[in-house]
Amino acid sequence: MASSGVTLEDVPSVDLMTEVLRRFKCSSKPDKRLVLIGPPGSGKGTQSPIIKDEYCLCHLATGDMLRAAVAAKTPLGIKAKEAMDKGELVSDDLVVGIIDEAVKKPSCQKGFILDGFPRTVVQAEKLDNMLKKQGTKIDKVLNFAIDDSILEERITGRWIHPSSGRSYHTKFAPPKVPGVDDVTGEPLIQRKDDTAEVLKSRLEAFHKQTEPVIGYYAKKGIIAQLHAEKAPKDVTAEVQTALS
C-alpha cells in the first residue's frame, strides 16, 4: 500500500479510519509520474493539489525542494547553497540529484508531479536519464496551453497560502474569507513577482526556453494539451480525461 511515510501508530485515533481508507484507496491507484508545463498563471498551482490527492502522488516544486535540501544540509543542499550564496544558478545536475533523492521518499511511492522542471530540453534529457537508471520514466506531460493576454489578469489577482502552496484569485477562485486560507484560516500573501512587469519577462523566458520542451515530449507521444483558459473545474475534467 502507498504510504505517506507515517506509521499508523503515529496517527491520532480520531483520524485512524480516515488514514486507513486513504491508504486503501491509494493502493488501487496506478503509479503516475507527471510533468506540468505552462506559463505563470496558467493554473498549474490550482490543479496540482487536486491531482496530488486524486492519484496519491507527491508534489515536487523545484524551488521548494532546493530550500528543503539547503535547510536539511544534505550534501546536495550544501552544494546548492554554495552556488546560491555566490549568486550563481544551481546546476542542472544538482537539481536532478535533488529530484532523484526526493522521488525515493515514501510519500512518492505512487509517483510524483514535477512542477517547474524541466525548463529546458537539456534538463528534460537529464531527468529522463536519471529516471531510466531507476527503471522508470515520465508517463504523461500536461501542457497548460493559454494565450498570453489572459495571464496578466490572472497573475495580478493571485493570492497564495505560503506553507501549503494553495492558490486563490480575487476574481476567479476567491477564498471564503478575503485574505484568509480556507483550510487553516492563516493569512494569504501576494508574491512579489506577481506583477505585469515581471510577468512579461517570465513569459519571454518561458517561450524561449520551455516551449521547446513541449516539442521534446511531443515526439515521445506523452503530451496532453489542456485548454488552460477554461474555468478550473473544466480544466480538472480535462486532466482526468488525460490521465484516465
* H-state helical runs in 73-210: 75-85, 92-102, 121-134, 148-156, 196-205
Strand partners, 31: none
Q: Please report where in the chains the cell 549568486 appears, as a residue.
A: 87
Asked if the 30-157+194-243 domain carries CATH number 3.40.50.300, the reply is yes
- For 174, residues 6+ apart whose C-beta sits below 8 A from its C-beta are 168
Give the separation between CA 25 and CA 53, rounded to whole angstroms: 11
User: Which of 52, 67, 202, 230 is labelled catalytic?
Assistant: 202
Kindly list the domain boundaries of the chain, sorted by start residue: 30-157+194-243
User: Which of 44, 110, 126, 166 is labelled catalytic?
Assistant: 44
Contact between residue 101 and residue 74 where contact means Cβ atoms under 8 Å apart: yes
Is 191 catalytic? The answer is yes
Is residue 173 left, alpha or beta, with left meaning phi > 0 and alpha meaning psi from -120 to 50?
beta
- Split at pLDDT 50, 70, 90, the class of 7 is low
Give the separation between CA 117 and CA 124, rounded to whole angstroms: 8
Question: Position 184: which residue type?
Answer: T
Least confident residue range of 82-86, 128-132, 151-155, 217-221: 82-86
User: Which of 104, 191, 208, 220 is labelled catalytic?
Assistant: 191
For 27-81, the pLDDT digits (tens) are 888 899 999 999 988 999 889 999 999 999 999 988 788 888 888 888 888 888 8
**Vertex 60 angle, CA 78 and 45, to 5°:** 130
Is 23 catalytic? The answer is no
Contact between residue 29 and residue 56 where contact means Cβ atoms under 8 Å apart: yes
For 126-141, the pLDDT digits (tens) are 999 999 999 999 999 9
- For 5, residues 6+ apart whose C-beta sits below 8 A from its C-beta are 105, 106, 107
Is 166 catalytic? The answer is no
Work out the average pLDDT over 162-173: 87
For 181-235, the pLDDT digits (tens) are 999 999 999 988 888 888 888 899 889 888 899 999 999 999 999 999 999 999 9
Contact between residue 117 and residue 15 where contact means Cβ atoms under 8 Å apart: no
Contact between residue 76 and residue 94 where contact means Cβ atoms under 8 Å apart: yes
The SS3 assignment for 210 reads helix
Please give the full DSSP string across 46-97, using - where no structure is assigned: HHHHHHHHHHTPEEEEHHHHHHHHHHHT-HHHHHHHHHHHTTPPPPHHHHHH
